[in-house]
Amino acid sequence: MEEATESRQVVLLDQGEVRKTKRSLFGFSLPKIPFFGESDEEQDEEYKQIEGEIEDIQALSNGRYQFAAKDAGTWQTTEGSWLILKNGQKFKIKRGAVGSYMLVVNGRAIRVKRVN
């Protein structure tokens, strides 16, 4: 075991590192693997949403936006909206139906997708 650890064939992670990794992968479709939890239900329950502050916002065409979420990647709105996004705004991104995601800012929601 010691040899495998030194040669990086086996890597040990604590729960904090696993949670950080799960947050950073939120929004991507990933296979169910035991590394992330004991069961499918456990994997699905832990990250149904993330919260944070909008960073590095860019206006795109047709009233859409692209923004960064610290430790959770880059996202784009998928439809135009009257909702105005600003750097520093608090947000939630929730899992929606059929693999979609909803950005919620000030009680208003718009569909988003993870792009990076």
Residue range 23-50, pLDDT digits in tens: 667 776 655 656 555 554 555 555 688 8
Which range is least confidently modeled, 2-6, 14-18, 23-27? 23-27
Domain that holds residue 109: 2-114
User: Which among 24, 28, 30 is positioned nearest to 52, based on CA atoms?
Assistant: 24
Higher pLDDT: 79 or 40? It is 79
Q: Cα separation of 68 and 74, whole Å? A: 4
Could you tell me the pLDDT band of residue 92, with boundaries at 50, 70 and 90? very high
Expressed in angstroms, the distance from the first to the final Cα of the chain is: 35
Question: Is there a contact between 43 and 37 (Cβ–Cβ < 8 Å)?
Answer: yes
What value does the mean pLDDT take over residues 1-26? 76
3-state secondary structure of 102: strand
pLDDT on residue 83: 85
pLDDT on residue 31: 59
Question: Is there a contact between 111 and 102 (Cβ–Cβ < 8 Å)?
Answer: yes
Q: Write down the H helix ranges in the chain.
A: 2-6, 15-25, 40-46
This prediction has a pTM of 0.68
The total of structural domains in the chain comes to: 1
pLDDT, tens only, 62-75? 989 999 988 889 99
Q: Cα separation of 12 and 82, whole Å? A: 47
